Each structure stands twice: as C-alpha cells, then as structure tokens.
C-alpha cells in the first residue's frame, strides 16, 4: 500500500510541492497503478535467471567541446551582465 | 487554379507544383485559409507560421521559374508536433513550464525537411510532454476528432493526426513513445508510422523516455509516409543510436551501404504471398466493434494470396506494466532538468532560496506530468528498484525474444491499433489507470524497438478503426510493402466533413 508519507517524500525529492488535495488524489491513483505493476512479480523466473540486454551504441562521438554562440541563447529570460541568474544556494 | 488544393496528398502536391499545374504559393494560401476556417473547431495547431510558410513557398516558386532544382518534398505543407525543436519558433511541449521557450537550433528531422523544401506551416498540439493518449492534457485544451468534434482525437500526437485528417496540412511529424503516433492515426483514420528505434534521429526531440521514443510521419496515404521517411530516416551524428536504413528487405544495411544501391524506401513494390500473424491476445482484448472490422479485413487479405494465421504472444501480459515502469522512470529523470534557469518563462530568481524557487517553478507542470514524475521516482526508489524497474527490463527482454521468434515464422504481425473506438472528451481523464490501459496494443513495438504502422481499415458506428502492422527490426520496407498492398485491397480513404 502506497502511503501519504511516501508520496510526499517523493514529491519533495522531485521538487514538487503537492497541495493536500493533490496528495490525497495521487496517493489513491498511484496506489492503484503500482498495484497493477505488481503483475511484474508474477514473471516465472528465479533470481539467478534475471537477465536483460541493453541496446548497443556502436561508436560514440568524440567528446569534444562545441562552442555555442551567446547570440543563440538570446531567448534566455534570466540574464544579467553576460551571466545566467539563478536562485541562492541557501 | 484547381479548388481544394488543400485536400491533396503530399505526392500530388509535389507533382502538381513541379509540373506547373499550380504554384507553391497558390497551394499554401489554400492551406492557410483551411487552417483559419477549421482549426477553431479541431484545435490541432498551437502556432501557425504564416510568414515563414509564405516565404518558403515564394522561394520554391522562384527557383522553379529560374529552372533550378527543388527538393523531393517541394511545397508540401507539413505540421510539426510541438515537442520537436524548430529554430526561432516557440516550442512549448504544450506545457506552462516551456510557455516561452524558443529553441536556438533545428531538430535534425527539421533540417532534413527544410533541405527537401517541405513547407513547415506550424506547431501541433499534444499532451503535455507527450504524456497521454488523448491530447486532453495540453495547456492549449484538447484536440478534437475531425470525425466527431465531441470525441478525442487520440494522443499524444493528437494534433499531428487531426491536422492531416482535417486537411490542414498534407503530412505531419509526431513522436511515439508508447503509441503516440499510431493511436491518434487510428482514431482519425490516417496512416501513422513508428519507425524502428534508431531509424530516425531524436536530436531536437524534447526527451520524455529516451529508450522508447521515436519521431515518425503521419500522412493520408502510405506513399506520403514513405516520402517523409525518405527525408528524415538514417544516420545522424547528433544521435548515436541512429543506424543506416534498410530499404531493400532482402539485403542487410551493411550490404546496401557497401554496394551503394539506391537507399530509398518505396511504396509501389507489389508484395504477394505475405505470411501474416494475427496476434490472438490483441484481437481478443478488443471491443467487438473493433475486432469485427479487423476480421473482415483479414478475410480480404486471405482472398488476396496472403496466408493469415492466428498466433499467440504470451509475454503481452507484462507489456503494459513494463512499459509504464520504464517510461515513468525515464520521465522522472528527464524532467528533472526543468529548473527555469536555462529555459523557461519569465520568473526572476533573485531573492529566492533555490528549493523554494524550483518548487514554485515546477508547480507549473500539469497533473499527468506530476503524476508520472512521482510514479517514476517511486519505481526507482530504494527498496522498489528490483521489484519494479529491474523486472520491467526483464519483461522487456522477454517481449523482445518472443517477437524475434515470431518473425522467424511471419513477415508481419497484425492486430487492432487501439482496442476501443474513440470516446468522448472527458470520459477517461479522471482515471489514469484506465487511460494507460488503452495503450496495451501499441506499447509492444516500443518495448521491442520494432517498426509499427497504423492504417485505416474501416469504420464502425461511424468511427475510424485502425489496423496495426508490426515488422522485424529495421524492416520498414516490409511494412510499406504490406501496407500499400492492403491499402489497395481495403480502400477506405475518406475525408471527414468539416
């Protein structure tokens, strides 16, 4: 059973401040969805048989620096004196 | 000048313009007029670039007058899903969080379309960040189904399918993570392709779930979809997952590259003796109104030299849980970047502490996006990772293996694209699990990475029904052969009255 505290905590980790109404709704909806995911538990496999492959990427591009011109970033909203503005760290 | 130029297919448009039957300018004026006339009802476009479209049309006409060469999509009106970046045109993903984002570059597919002289007429509606199956989760409101405006157009590329069905553009680009091109194509009675993973560059597509999504075309005919694929498919240095295309089914990509054979897909190969696997689980799970339509099509195929056999795919039972686990996990990580510092809307960070600032900013995500971020964080969190995320990947591998073995017996696998007919706007929006469950037939191709196409196969209670055809990895040409063959047998192409 998904709990209110779990969803609240995951919301905080994801930087989402949920309202009480959102929290109540998400708890019951996500509980239903995650219970549906429990279907995955019925895969008839023992742990030693767990395998999966990942897609291969044959060649990686050289990790070279590409200069991105400042004019290209004209659409940035939060700028000041040639810098990008951000909130205070604490 | 012929009337109703806006109704023409992409192929008819380029031929007409190149043969001098009408000019690109005449055509594009009719398209823009059409959008003006019907889009207040359909709500497929979120932005129309009138000036850009007219300038491009004039340049094509001038080059033709001067005897210069023009591209293969010369003059064709194309609409672009609003999660694909176009330089200097607002790209919002139908989200408040990107309401004023203007990309400084073109997506690779956009560059290809521009080089081929397609005319980009505007940006198309979608579910916020492509998360949804009805286009109802959009900051611009739902796209309406041109066949019945009270009903959903499907999603998440609802704008891409509805705009083509309503003849507001000849073809469009959508993106497909779990059926987002095929679902609306089925609901709106147009042809939509999800290419093989790695067939089309994702550079410039705003990420939702990187291991599943692909950009693909929507058109009125299979030929139109083929024409767009010839422009956008193939290797791109900006997307390391792209592979060389394979337009001749009997040769491998490597053979084609080495021998320098024409590397273009075609829609006119006369494919005969097709071996078709009808996937039992897909047809059994469908509404009888849908399955009846599929069975009548199967009868037609069997009467035309095709061998059709019912087959089972056991791993389908895990597909939806696997898909939503992987998709939400990848989404929660992809969407972490929206901090409003590098791109976003007007909101001065000065004076804010960063936790408060980011939380305030991220409250601009819509309901479904927030839900998926949290589900994704849940399945990835300590204690649940092995139970959900890891098992989802095992299920994905099982599906891949089973599909692989099925393609040793069949050329293609078929079934309904959607298990149900289009439903009323608002009907499922409050029940996320029910909404997810309508993706059951389409997610398989994304999990396995294989190509799948949805094509109109008939109507049931006046609503379109789509047939889904799946082929083996990189076998787009097989899909085109089979789909164009079916298109000739099952002639259901009509336009909605709007």
pLDDT digits (tens, 9 = 90+) for B104-131: 899 999 999 999 999 999 999 999 999 9
**At B432, is the secondary structure helix, strand, or coil?**
helix
pLDDT digits (tens, 9 = 90+) for B356-377: 999 999 999 999 999 999 999 9
pLDDT digits (tens, 9 = 90+) for B324-351: 999 999 999 999 999 888 777 888 898 9
B36: in domain: yes
Looking at the complex, report in whole angstroms how far the Cα of residue A62 sits from the nearest Cα belonging to chain B.
11
Total number of domains constituting chain B? 1
Mean pLDDT of chain B: 94
Using a CB-CB cut-off of 8 Å, the residues of chain A touching B359 are 15-17
Q: What is the pLDDT of residue B100?
A: 87
Q: Give yes or no for a contact between B175 and B161, defined as CB atoms under 8 angstroms apart.
A: no
B210: in domain: yes
Q: Which of B180, B203, B315, B484 is catalytic?
A: B180
B118 lies in which domain range? 5-313+405-489
A26: in domain: yes
Using a CB-CB cut-off of 8 Å, the residues of chain A touching B325 are 37, 40
B88: in domain: yes
The CATH number given to whatever domain includes residue B258 is 3.90.1300.10
Calpha distance B42→B495 (Å, rounded): 14
A28: in domain: yes
Mean pLDDT score, B82-101: 95
Chain A to chain B, count of Cβ pairs less than 8 Å apart? 154
Residue B152 above 90 pLDDT? yes
Does residue B312 carry a catalytic annotation?
Answer: no
Mean pLDDT score, A4-22: 94
Q: What is the pLDDT of residue B395?
A: 94
**At B458, is the secondary structure helix, strand, or coil?**
strand
Confidence band for B494, pLDDT divided at 50, 70 and 90: confident
A88–B354: do the CB atoms touch at under 8 Å?
Answer: yes
Q: Give yes or no for a contact between B388 and A35, defined as CB atoms under 8 angstroms apart.
A: no
Total number of domains constituting chain A? 1
pLDDT digits (tens, 9 = 90+) for A31-42: 999 999 999 999
Calpha distance B353→A16 (Å, rounded): 15
Q: Give yes or no for a contact between B464 and B420, defined as CB atoms under 8 angstroms apart.
A: no
Residue B283 above 90 pLDDT? yes
Q: What is the pLDDT of residue B386?
A: 87
Residue B256 above 60 pLDDT? no
Of how many residues is chain B composed? 498
Residue B270 above 80 pLDDT? no
Q: What is the pLDDT of residue B189?
A: 98
Mean pLDDT score, B299-303: 91
Calpha distance B107→B99 (Å, rounded): 19
Looking at the complex, report in whole angstroms how far the Cα of residue B186 sits from the nearest Cα belonging to chain A.
26
Residue A66 above 90 pLDDT? no
Mean pLDDT score, B243-247: 85
Bridge partners, B413 (sequence order): B277, B470
Q: Which of A71-80, B48-57, B86-95, B317-326 has the lowest mean pLDDT?
A: A71-80
Mean pLDDT score, B183-203: 98
The CATH number given to whatever domain includes residue A20 is 1.10.20.60
A23 lies in which domain range? 1-43
Q: Give yes or no for a contact between B216 and B195, defined as CB atoms under 8 angstroms apart.
A: yes
A21: in domain: yes
A51: in domain: no
A30: in domain: yes
Q: What is the pLDDT of residue A55?
A: 59
A10–B396: do the CB atoms touch at under 8 Å?
Answer: no
Q: What is the pLDDT of residue B297?
A: 92
pLDDT digits (tens, 9 = 90+) for B290-300: 999 999 999 99
- Burial track A52-78 (b if 16+ CB lie within 10 A, e otherwise): eeeeeeeeeeeeeeeeeeeeeeeebbb
| SS3 of B354-422 | HHHHHHHHHCCCCHHHHHHHHHHHHHHCCCCCHHHHHHHHHHHHHHHHHHHHHCCCCCEEEEECCCCCC
B221: in domain: yes
Confidence band for A47, pLDDT divided at 50, 70 and 90: low
């Amino acid at each position: 059973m998904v709990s209110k505290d779990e969803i609240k905590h995951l919301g905080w980790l994801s930087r989402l401040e949920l309202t009480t109404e959102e929290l109540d709704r998400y708890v019951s909806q996500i509980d239903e969805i995650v219970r549906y995911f429990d279907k995955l538990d019925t895969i008839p496999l023992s742990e030693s048989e767990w395998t999966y492959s990942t897609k291969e990427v044959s060649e990686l591009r050289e990790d070279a620096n590409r200069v991105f011109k400042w004019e290209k970033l004209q659409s940035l909203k939060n700028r000041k004196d040639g810098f990008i503005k951000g909130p205070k760290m604490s | 000048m012929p009337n109703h130029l806006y109704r023409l297919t992409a192929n008819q448009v380029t031929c007409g313009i190149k043969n001098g039957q009408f000019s690109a300018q005449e055509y594009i004026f009719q398209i823009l007029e059409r959008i003006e006339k019907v889009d207040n009802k359909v709500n497929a476009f979120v932005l129309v670039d009138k000036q850009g479209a007219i300038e491009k049309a004039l340049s094509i006409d001038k080059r033709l007058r001067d005897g210069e060469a023009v591209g293969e999509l010369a003059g064709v009106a194309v609409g672009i899903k609003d999660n694909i970046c176009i330089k200097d045109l607002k790209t919002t993903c139908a989200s408040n969080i990107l309401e004023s984002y203007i990309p400084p570059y073109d997506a690779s597919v956009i560059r290809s379309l521009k080089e081929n002289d397609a005319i980009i007429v505007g940006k198309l509606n979608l579910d916020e960040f492509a998360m949804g199956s009805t286009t109802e989760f959009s900051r611009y409101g739902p796209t309406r189904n041109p066949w019945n405006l009270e009903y959903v157009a499907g999603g998440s590329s609802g704008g891409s399918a509805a705009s083509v069905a309503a003849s507001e553009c000849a073809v469009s680009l959508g993106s497909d993570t779990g059926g987002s091109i095929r679902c609306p194509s089925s609901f709106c009675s147009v042809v939509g392709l999800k290419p093989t993973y790695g067939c089309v560059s994702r550079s410039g597509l705003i990420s939702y779930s990187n291991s599943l999504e692909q950009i693909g075309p929507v058109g009125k005919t299979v030929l139109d979809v083929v024409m767009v694929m010839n422009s956008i498919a193939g290797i791109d240095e900006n997307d390391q997952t792209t592979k060389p295309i394979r337009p001749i089914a009997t040769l491998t990509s490597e053979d084609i590259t080495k021998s320098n054979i024409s590397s273009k897909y075609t829609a006119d190969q006369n494919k005969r003796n097709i071996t078709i696997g009808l996937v039992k689980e897909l047809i059994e799970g469908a509404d009888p109104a849908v399955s009846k339509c599929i069975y009548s099509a199967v009868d037609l195929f069997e009467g035309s030299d095709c061998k059709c056999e019912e087959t089972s795919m056991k791993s389908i039972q895990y597909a939806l849980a696997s898909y939503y686990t992987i998709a939400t996990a990848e989404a929660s990580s992809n969407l972490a970047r929206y901090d409003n510092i590098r791109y976003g809307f007007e909101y001065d960070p000065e004076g804010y502490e960063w936790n408060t600032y980011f939380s305030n900013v991220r409250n601009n995500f819509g309901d479904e996006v927030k839900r998926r971020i949290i589900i994704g964080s849940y399945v990835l969190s300590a204690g649940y990772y092995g139970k959900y995320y890891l098992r989802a990947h095992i299920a994905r591998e099982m599906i891949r293996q089973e599909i692989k073995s099925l393609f040793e017996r069949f050329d293609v696998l078929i079934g309904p694209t959607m298990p149900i007919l289009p439903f009323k706007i608002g009907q499922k929006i409050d029940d996320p699990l029910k909404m997810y469950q309508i993706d059951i037939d389409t997610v398989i191709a994304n999990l396995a990475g294989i190509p799948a196409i949805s094509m109109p196969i008939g109507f049931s209670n006046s609503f379109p029904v789509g047939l889904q055809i799946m082929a083996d990895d990189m076998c787009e040409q097989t899909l085109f052969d089979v789909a164009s063959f079916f298109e000739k047998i099952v002639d259901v192409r009509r336009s909605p009255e709007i």
